[in-house]
Amino acid sequence: MEQPGQGKGALYHLAPLGLAVFLFYLSVVFPFALSLVAIPIYIAIVRHGRGYGIVGALGAAMAVYIISGVEWALVFTSVCVLMALAAGEAFKREFPMGKTVATTALLPFLGVIGVFVITAYGSGASLSQAVDNLSTKAVEMMVNKQVEAGGDKELVEFVKSQRQNLVWIFSSVFPALLLNMTLFLALLNFLVARSLSIRFDWKAHMPQHDLSLWRAPEKLAWVMVGGGALSLTGLGGFPAALGLNIVFVLGMVYSIQGLSTAHYLLLKSNATHMVKTIAYILILIAMPWSVLALWSLGLVDALVDLRKMRDLNGISGE
């Protein structure tokens, strides 16, 4: 039986890797493109095998290294290549949707942490100093954007007066922010790759994966409550930071459940494809406020079961 790509030329096999590199550099101008970089590599792994994917991905990383140096190559490898490899392994092992997205996010998260540690010690700074420096830059950027946008003067002055507290918050939740970023990228990769696979019949998706049917394990709600309580105990230091990280990460999980619920409601309403597309575009444009709205919707669904799914086997806690 002829395998996908058998008898094709070199261009056929190199095209996905070239597209991944192109999307990676395009993300410098359009950050959203970063959420698409792993998809060509993932499709190549599924259609041509793990060996081809690993060799090809390393070749693409080498191309980035030649063009832009070691730091860019490390970012490309840790975020894009590891995400594609994790997604390919999840597809091969037929993981359920929740486990697929979690696995696809976790490996790049660990990769980025590794790159950050290497970069920090390479510059002669300790890990905590590197995180503080990054947090300080983030707060300064936030203040400058408020000033440039002509924001409310009282708000700008308040942010300036609370600069040190904001730096502490950013530093404390740095692991959660990083994990949430990779989780969001993994979810976008999953949804776009699934849509493309269905549209072009690439057979690179699991038919049983359905965003509208996913919900977080119910026990996570209690973990989130515990994290919130831990951050408010007044103990400060590590307990407060741990509680904040738990709240931030599970907040993203329930935002995904909110997106799942919104997707279910749109399907149930028989909205046209155009209406659904506009709704998802508005969600992207309205970030981060839309994330808060989805988080609220996810918590409501967890509490009152808007989709009436608690009795369905194989859905809750997938």
pLDDT digits (tens, 9 = 90+) for 138-165: 777 777 776 676 666 777 777 777 777 7
Q: Which two tokens stand for residue 9?
A: 């030329």
Alpha carbons 66 and 290: distance in angstroms, whole number: 39
Please indicate, yes or no, if residue 231 is contained in any of the structural domains.
no
Nearest to 5 by CA among 62, 53, 77: 53
**Does residue 46 contact residue 200 with C-beta atoms inside 8 Å?**
no
Count of domains forming the chain: 1
Please indicate, yes or no, if residue 305 is contained in any of the structural domains.
no
Please indicate, yes or no, if residue 261 is contained in any of the structural domains.
no
The total of other beta-carbon atoms located within 10 Å of residue 277's CB is: 11
Q: Which two tokens stand for residue 138?
A: 């983030």
Nearest to 20 by CA among 113, 71, 82: 82
For the chain, which ranges sit under pLDDT 70? 1-13, 146-147, 149-152, 234-236, 310-318
Q: Specify which residues 215 forms β-bridges with.
A: 316
Please indicate, yes or no, if residue 260 is contained in any of the structural domains.
no
Please indicate, yes or no, if residue 205 is contained in any of the structural domains.
yes
**Does residue 83 contact residue 185 with C-beta atoms inside 8 Å?**
yes
Q: Which pTM was predicted? A: 0.78
Residue 287: per-residue pLDDT = 72
**Does residue 88 contact residue 45 with C-beta atoms inside 8 Å?**
yes
Percentage of the chain beyond pLDDT 90 is 5
**Does residue 246 contact residue 226 with C-beta atoms inside 8 Å?**
yes
Please indicate, yes or no, if residue 129 is contained in any of the structural domains.
no
Please indicate, yes or no, if residue 240 is contained in any of the structural domains.
no
Alpha carbons 75 and 34: distance in angstroms, whole number: 11
**Which pLDDT tens digit goes with each residue over 179-212?**
988 888 888 888 888 888 887 888 887 777 778 8
**Does residue 315 contact residue 214 with C-beta atoms inside 8 Å?**
yes
**Which pLDDT tens digit goes with each residue over 89-111?**
899 888 888 888 899 999 899 98
**Domain range for 89:** 1-123+174-209
The total of other beta-carbon atoms located within 10 Å of residue 307's CB is: 18
Please indicate, yes or no, if residue 197 is contained in any of the structural domains.
yes
